[in-house]
Amino acid sequence: MKNVVKVIIGIICFVVSFTVCFHIGSWFGKTLFKDKVEEKTYTDSGLTITMEEGFNKRDYVSATFYYESQYAAMTGIKEYFEDLADFDIDGNSSLEEYAQLISYVNNKDNEYQNLNDKIMYYTYTDTISGKDFFYLTAVTKGSDAFWIINLFCEEKNKDTYLPKFEKWLATIEVE
């Protein structure tokens, strides 16, 4: 009988030890590899961008395209050169001139930063339906249009997403 009790206690100790080790290992795996997010390239209407996986395309009437994930979203608006003629903007206009137009139309003095030689952006916050959001708005130029790209998240996630937004913007290619 003593041997049976020892075997049962041994099995219980093994199961408990295995369960504890499994949970500790799972926690370490999530902690050590939490920055290992898979990336995916998204292409739509002549714009390509590489972001983390998990963005889904949604319909949004005032944008050329709209993608959202659990914690962030992106819109893209393509403005063809011929549609900007009334503003004296065309294919010969510079990215800086288009950026000035965006500031003028929105009646804001946006402080653009150059991400690289083909993308300029500014950031701001806004409250929508009682939630505070952080926005990064970028402009770039393609062969037939200018683009406005908005990346946004809740303001409480700004420190996490600002570096990601800048990284994602650096991957943009336009036709």
Looking at residue 29, its pLDDT comes to 54
Pick 105 or 18 by higher pLDDT: 105
Q: Nearest Cα to 43, choosing from 31, 51, 32?
A: 51
pLDDT tens, residue by residue, 142-168: 999 999 999 999 999 999 999 999 999
Where do the H-state alpha helices sit in 33-157? Answer: 95-105
Backbone φ, ψ for residue 149 (5° rounding)? -115, 125
Please return the burial class of 85, using the count of CB atoms within 10 Å of its CB with bins 0-12, 13-18 and 19+: exposed
Superfamily classification of domain 39-174: Mog1/PsbP, alpha/beta/alpha sandwich (3.40.1000.10)
Helix, strand or coil, per DSSP, at residue 68: strand
Looking at residue 37, its pLDDT comes to 77
**Cα-Cα-Cα-Cα dihedral of 134, 83, 115, 153, to 10°?**
20
pLDDT tens, residue by residue, 66-84: 999 999 999 999 999 999 9
Distance (Å, whole) CA 123 – CA 175: 25
Q: What percent of the chain has pLDDT over 70?
A: 79
Distance (Å, whole) CA 83 – CA 76: 16
Instruction: Answer yes or no: are the C-beta atoms of 121 and 31 closer than 8 Å.
Output: no
pLDDT tens, residue by residue, 76-125: 999 999 999 999 999 999 999 999 999 999 899 899 999 999 999 999 99
Where do the H-state alpha helices sit in the chain? Answer: 2-32, 95-105, 158-169
Please return the burial class of 95, using the count of CB atoms within 10 Å of its CB with bins 0-12, 13-18 and 19+: middle
Looking at residue 47, its pLDDT comes to 98
Looking at residue 24, its pLDDT comes to 57
Looking at residue 4, its pLDDT comes to 53
Domain boundaries, the chain: 1-36, 39-174
